[in-house]
Amino acid sequence: MAFWKIATAAIAAIFLASTSVRADECVTIDKFHYTLSSKGIALFGSRAAATIKMEAVINKNRATVGKPALKAAILLVGYVKDANNEVYVLAAVVGEDGCVIQETVATLKADTWISFLTSAGVEVEDFFPIEGA
């Protein structure tokens, strides 16, 4: 499990580094969408009710490690496959200011993502495609 957490953090860090984003820079949905779509990754956003449910689970998890709660405007996800055809989910939380909360950018295995959705009471249908954000 520790290896997966390290690998996930590394993939997310590589993604942010590849976009040339400073830690204090606001990455908007438009910029996030452009970056992913230029790499052939479709982006999806969470509907309002699903965002509220997922935010509650995220904040519960953050509280267990002493991190402050965050206020999500939307969760963004993109689905990618590796060379072995294994599906991964690139996920990020966008705050109320319209900026991606950089520490929330993560790459998850599909089964981990589905477990998270299930724990939040959310389904894949609770996301809509973002086109030309």
pLDDT for 126 beyond 70: yes
pLDDT in tens, 91-101: 999 999 999 99
The rounded distance, in Å, linking the Cα atoms of 133 and 112 is: 27
Q: DSSP 3-state assignment of 40?
A: coil
Select from 93, 112, 95 the least CA-distant residue to 104: 93
Interatomic CA distance for residues 27 and 95, integer angstroms: 10
| pTM across the whole model | 0.81
Q: Measured in whole angstroms, how far is the alpha carbon of residue 8 from the centre of its chain?
A: 12
pLDDT of residue 76: 94
pLDDT beyond 90 at 36: no
Give 133's pLDDT tier (boundaries 50, 70, 90). low
- Dihedral (Cα; 6, 12, 14, 15), 10-degree rounding: 170
* 40-64: average pLDDT: 94
Q: What is the enclosing helix (H) or strand (E) of 72?
A: strand 72-81
Please report where in the chains the tokens 């950018």 appear, as a residue.
Answer: 105
Domain boundaries, the chain: 2-130
